[in-house]
Structure 1
Amino acid sequence: MKKPAIALLLLLTACSSTPDPRPLSIPEAERLALVRFSNYTTGVSAFTASVPSPGGKLQLNGRVDFVNHLGYAGMRTDGRDDQFSQGMVQWNLGRIAFATTPSTTPVDPVPPADWQVRDLQERGSELDGALRLLVNLGSDRPENSQLLLQSSARWLR
């Protein structure tokens, strides 16, 4: 499995001391226009992520299916070792399922467990926002680079 979108995601969210955001250049817009399509043609890709949350930093290690908009990952909370600080998570565009498990290594098939299922929140949850963004990083056609140049797309850092 490849990690094509994760580098872009990390690049967009990395902290640095660079100048203010600026409009995209033509080559940057052309590359950005292909990102979601490239992910889609890859199909399934491994990822690792660190998501800040009120309960502690969540560490995710799993895979995302850009064609079917599905994800599956092991999750643990940095600095905690109680029974609710780790487990497995599955999600799609609208729902998330979490199960506490002794292992945080995703396996196939998905193990039977006492999965707790809920709708993904639109606002207020860093984890839900990150998971929704991740499964939305695939599209069956490239974006229009000219529209990206005309939009509010900006190079952040």
Structure 2
Amino acid sequence: MGAAFLLTGGGSGSSSPRALTSDEANRLAITRFRNYEAHGRAVTITVPGTAGGLVVTGSVDYRGKLGYGVVHGTGRDTSSDGLIEWTATSVFVHPMANAPARAPASPPSSGWYSRALQSSGSSLDSSLAIALGLGSDRPDNAELLPQNGAAWWGRDQVDGHPVDVMTGPSSRDRSGTAGNVRYWVGSDGTMYRVRASVGSASQPVDIDFDTQKYVPVEPAPGVTPAR
């Protein structure tokens, strides 16, 4: 279930985990596939930081593996504000002195700067990578999830949606990482929130879905989506 991130935080519910039921395992197994089925989801990514946080409001195209939105600083100056688009390997930024509340449906044709997405040391880049990895073109193996450490932590509500709070299993590339990502999953397997931590921040990253209307992601100049 995605990359390995240290678990922090949680929601309301039980104070200790238990094994997943068959139904819970099935829903956790399809939750990333649900995002892929939907093609894309509207997201709000809340990125912590010691000098103030960042909030990315936008959309992720889970088939094109492309994210796009607007960045606003919280508790800090506006030097990081502007538009942002990202892939699994690159970040494209368009600085704006007065960034809008929502990104324009069509990215500007100029004014973009590109850089490599950092695999470590950047809370923003780690958060973008996590958000992009929350879609999969096939379900996970429900039978293997409990065996590899996935667990149920409680029940909660996200914007009126009843959800179960579950943690994922050990990642494929690193054993002993069970519980590193926490998922808020609805009765049909829809993902409503994900919480994880990154090594460069003391507070968890929150990724909330359906916080606004989904707007299909158009590539910015120089961006090639996966198809």
Deviates more, 1:57-66 or 1:108-117: 108-117
* CA RMSD between the two structures: 2.1
1:116 has 2:113 as partner: yes
1:97 has 2:92 as partner: yes
Mapping 1:1-150, distance limit 5 Å: 14-15=10-11, 18-82=14-78, 84-101=79-96, 102-104=98-100, 105-150=102-147
Q: Is the 8 A contact 1:26 1:149 kept in 2?
A: no
TM-score normalized by the length of structure 2: 0.58
Task: State the percentage of identical aligned residues.
Answer: 37
Cα displacement string for residues 5-40 of structure 1 (whole angstroms, at most 9, x for unaligned residues)? xxxxxxx85455842444333222111101111100
SS of 2:15 mapped into structure 1: coil
2:88 maps to amino acid: L
Task: Tell me how far apart the structure 2 counterparts of residues 47 and 24 of structure 1 sit (CA, whole Å).
Answer: 27
Deviates more, 1:137-146 or 1:107-116: 107-116
More helix per residue? 1
In the superposition, relative to structure 1, how do residues 136 and 145 fare at CA in structure 2: closer, same or farther (>3 Å)? same
Q: Is the 8 A contact 2:51 2:76 kept in 1?
A: no
More strand per residue? 2
SS of 2:139 mapped into structure 1: coil
TM-score normalized by the length of structure 1: 0.81
Structure 1 gaps, min length 5:
1-11
Structure 2 gaps, min length 5:
1-7, 155-227
Residue correspondences, number? 145
In the superposition, relative to structure 1, how do residues 35 and 16 fare at CA in structure 2: closer, same or farther (>3 Å)? same
In the superposition, relative to structure 1, how do residues 57 and 43 fare at CA in structure 2: closer, same or farther (>3 Å)? same
Cα displacement string for residues 72-124 of structure 1 (whole angstroms, at most 9, x for unaligned residues)? 01011013344x13101100111111111232321132113422211111112
